[in-house]
Amino acid sequence: MSDIPITEKANAKRGSRLLSDSIVVVSVGPEQEKTSVHTHLLTAMSPYFHRLISQAEDEGQAGSDIEIQVQETDPKLFKMFVRWLYGTAFGNGVGQRGFHFGPPDEEATIRDFIGLYILGNTLEVSGLRNAALDTIYNYYAEETEEARCPNMEDVQHLFDHTEPTSNLRRLLVVFVLFFLFSKRRIGLSLPGDWQRVLEGGGSGELAWAMIRMMGDWRWQMGHNCPPMRLKSRQTFHDLDMGVKVEQEDDGVGYSSQTISRAGSHPGH
């Protein structure tokens, strides 16, 4: 793939090409809420939808007659996906970094973005996963008066719906442990959701992930906890689309070939 930047004119041309064909109807959720999406845009971005639409065409359906049902998907999350889909069509043309969501709020919460990441797994859209992960990363990495910590029930929800190789799992465990050892947490009790989740059944995988990551940090008894810095968000991205993603210049100094599982490293 060429490293030459894609111009705005090329982006517009590419977006127009993705929007130039037929429309497919997607029925979402138990209530079958209908959303119309350009067929080529949907199939170009999602292998999952590409298979479903190809199957419908093989069965003799065509154009606007095609209706795809995704009954187990939350309509709210699907609308966020469609927003990303069209935003990316006119972005930088690689399906990875052309569109960014705003920070979480009452309309789109952290749990929603975790759900969006999970939806990205279902639809096989790595760019959507990365966009959701970026929003979560920026929210917890932001310097605030009180250290932000992922709700453990949100983390457990992610663990219940993703594989152990999930990069967002790794990122949220990093933020949980950063909060646990944060100077601003000294003297404060752990959040109540920690006890509810970690004492409940089915949380063994999450507890093991936390212990394993602390083991990766190789701290020694009798030594102070060294300063830790979070790696850039791109180190947590899925790169299975073959797209070149430049590392941020944040002093981390790790290339994609030398990233450890921990997602953090001692400060200097």
pLDDT band (50, 70, 90) for residue 182? confident
> What is the distance between the alpha carbons of residues 19 and 37, in angstroms, rounded to a whole number?
9
CB atoms inside a 10 Å sphere around CB 208: 11
What confidence tens digit (pLDDT) does each residue in 184-239 have?
777 788 888 988 898 877 678 898 898 888 888 877 766 666 777 788 888 888 87
What confidence tens digit (pLDDT) does each residue in 24-57 have?
999 999 999 999 999 999 999 999 999 999 998 8
* Cβ atoms of residues 201 and 190 within 8 Å: no
> 131-153 burial by CB neighbour count: b if 16+ within 10 A, else e?
bbbbbbbebbeeeeeebebbbbe
pLDDT band (50, 70, 90) for residue 165? very high
CB atoms inside a 10 Å sphere around CB 12: 12
The pTM (predicted TM-score) of the whole model is 0.78
The residue to which tokens 């790794």 are assigned? 170
pLDDT band (50, 70, 90) for residue 63? low
